[in-house]
Amino acid sequence: MTIMQKAAEHNSTRAITGILCYGSGQFLQALEGDRHAVNALYRQIIKDPRHSECQVLSVEEIPARDFAEWSMKIVDWNDSVTADRESMLLKHAGSRHFDPSHMSASQAGAFLSDLAAMERLLTE
Ligand SMILES: Cc1cc2nc3c(=O)[nH]c(=O)nc-3n(C[C@H](O)[C@H](O)[C@H](O)COP(=O)(O)O)c2cc1C
């Protein structure tokens, strides 16, 4: 089963929402939901052999979800690197290359929210 199928199925039964962007061999993911559910999922994700060196960038209580409409929005960064996407990344990360290991927590958060906004425009 792919990450996407698993995430859609598992996350929706646990009211978890979020976004996962991948590219250049790295994943950047935001998980939203009940604290216990998010922690349980994170413990599962870090055991997954399809990746290594997981890092938590930030954990916070939020007044409202940013990605409420998606059980897990999957974005392949290299699928379509448009000029808009590239300049959005440049604005947030100071680089044209998707490299979340060099983003601060606030850069990563702002990047994912703008990415979500762009994805919403595409699917309108
Ligand atoms: C980067 C990454 C993100 C993942 N995100 C999720 C997720 O949001 N929800 C989920 O259920 N599984 C996610 N997975 C898959 C889990 O790590 C794991 O394979 C799955 O939850 C195992 O479920 P099972 O033991 O019931 O088969 C992710 C895996 C990777 C590598």
Q: Indicate whether 2 pLDDT > 90.
A: no
Please give the angle made by the CA atoms of 106, 29 and 22, to the nearest 5 degrees. Answer: 110
Enumerate residues 6+ apart whose C-beta is below 8 A from 5.
none
pTM of the model: 0.94
Residue nearest atom 11 of ligand 1, based on CA coordinates: 7
The CB of 10 under 6 Å from ligand 1? The reply is yes
For ligand 1, atom 22, the nearest C-alpha belongs to 44
Q: 3-122: which CATH architecture? A: 2-Layer Sandwich (3.30)
Q: Check pLDDT > 90 for residue 80.
A: no
* pLDDT confidence bin for 81, thresholds 50/70/90: confident
pLDDT-based confidence at residue 59 (cuts at 50, 70, 90): very high
Measured distance CA(36)–CA(89) in Å, rounded: 32
Residue 3 CB less than 6 A away from ligand 1: yes
- The domains of the chain are located at 3-122
Q: What is the DSSP string of 78-100?
A: GG---HHHHHHHHHHHSSSS--G
Output the CA 19–ligand 1 centroid distance in Å.
13
> Does residue 12 have its Cβ closer than 6 Å to ligand 1?
no
| Beta strands at 17-23 and 73-76: parallel, antiparallel or unpaired | parallel
Average pLDDT over residues 12-17: 96
Quick check: 70 pLDDT over 80?
Answer: yes
Which is nearest to 92 in space by CA: 77, 72, 113?
Answer: 113
Ligand 1 centroid to residue 3 C-alpha, Å: 6
Report the DSSP pairing between strands 73-76 and 26-32: unpaired
What type of residue is 116?
A
Q: Does residue 3 carry a pLDDT above 90?
A: no
C-beta 50 within 6 A of ligand 1: yes
